[in-house]
Amino acid sequence: MPKKFNALLDAMDTFLRTPATITDQGSHIRDSVDMKRIMITVMIALSPALLFGWWNVGYQHFLAIGGETVLWPCLWYGFLKWLPLVIVTYVSGLAVEVLFAQIRKEEVAEGFFVTGFIIPMIMPPDVPLWIVAVATAFAVLFGKEVFGGTGYNFLNPALLARAFVFFAYPSVISGDKVWVSGGADAVTGATPLALVMNGRPEAMPSTWEMFVGTIPGCIGETCKIAILLGAAILIFTQVADWRIMFSVFTGGYVTAVICRITGLCSMAGYDQILMGGFLFGAVFMATDPVTAAHTQTGKYIYGLLIGVLAILIRTLNKGYPEGMMLAILLMNIFAPLIDYCVVQAHIRKRQKQIIQQNQSK
């Protein structure tokens, strides 16, 4: 192969084999947890939600057409729906990544592996493949590469892809026709969130159904048990920060309770938390170490505001039932500002201490 495709070659080489190149200067003791290891951990944490997602896509489909809902056909149906999505996502996203790595003469970073894994999970099962390809390319190009590639993005690329689909092609990702795969037109498979927002709360599934996840929705977001399992893995391996998850829940729950007390919304606080992509966003999206706030205090502020905003957007703006996506993207933008303020406040505090110490001497 000519040297031209160096980026691609190198990516395949380091992905499939352990390269023999070693450092030739002074050695540094480093943790063996590198970016690849972290990405794999996130993928493992995502897999329970994905497995359930496969089954649920099939379950909702057979339920809608009135067939039998047997375990293996359901799982297989969902898998076949998911497979083209994930292939298209990776091909489109990696094409942009490799192109930019080639132009910059850098190695292809591993950052896209998790992004490409998440994007199919936050799409409706029947979304057209070309739209996924366009959205992924857009998100990788404008969310990441123009700012310098993996680690320099200030927006979560997976969420950006979803936001792109949401604003550019609203008909494939909103309304009540898109959430059940292959359903006949007569079948409305509205998500619980849309039902409540459109003033039909009596059609809402029970809290238990939303917790288990046997409801229409995006592929990966419905099963709250699987997401909590993923959260446990992420917190145990310290890949994601519990502070962010904790404060997102707190902010969201308190806002939901306030909304109920003031009569803005008729739902219980815990129902709000269980609905839509709130949990998935809190666990897998808000905790993205690149786009979240980096200071400890900043993480609490960042998470709290995501929770508050997500519920507020949901309850106050009927046009945007999925407030979590917009809340996280908005706070992604503010994360550097939060960090700056936290660091400056800390500096001022220390300066005051020094002045006081000097005066008392």
Name the residues that contact another protein, by CB under 8 A.
Answer: 128, 130-131, 142, 146, 164, 167-172
Nearer to another protein by C-beta: 42 or 172? 172
Minimal distance, residue 168 CB to another protein, in Å: 4
Distance in angstroms (rounded) separating the CA atoms of residues 257 and 230: 26
| Smallest separation (angstroms) from another protein to the CB of 196 | 25
- Of the pair 67, 170, the CB lying nearest another protein is at 170
CB of 128 to another protein, least distance (A): 5
CA 339, 341, 347, 353 dihedral sign is negative
Closer to another protein by CB, 151 or 170: give it: 170
219-to-50, 130, 162, 280, 331 alpha-carbon distances in Å: 7, 18, 13, 11, 24
Nearer to another protein, 167 or 208 (CB): 167
Contact present, 168 and 174 (Cβ < 8 Å): no
For the bound state, the minimum distance from the C-beta of residue 54 to another protein, rounded and expressed in Å, comes to 24
Output the smallest distance, CB 167 to another protein, in A.
5
User: CA–CA separation, 173 vs 180, rounded Å?
Assistant: 11
Nearer to another protein, 128 or 148 (CB): 128
CB of 112 to another protein, least distance (A): 21
Q: What ranges in the chain are assigned the alpha helix state H?
A: 6-16, 35-65, 71-104, 112-121, 129-143, 157-168, 192-197, 207-212, 224-236, 242-261, 269-274, 278-280, 296-316, 323-360
Work out the number of other CB atoms within 10 angstroms of the CB of residue 334.
17
Can you tell me the distance from the alpha carbon of 173 to that of 322, in angstroms, rounded to the nearest whole number? 10
Closest to another protein by CB, 165 or 240: 165
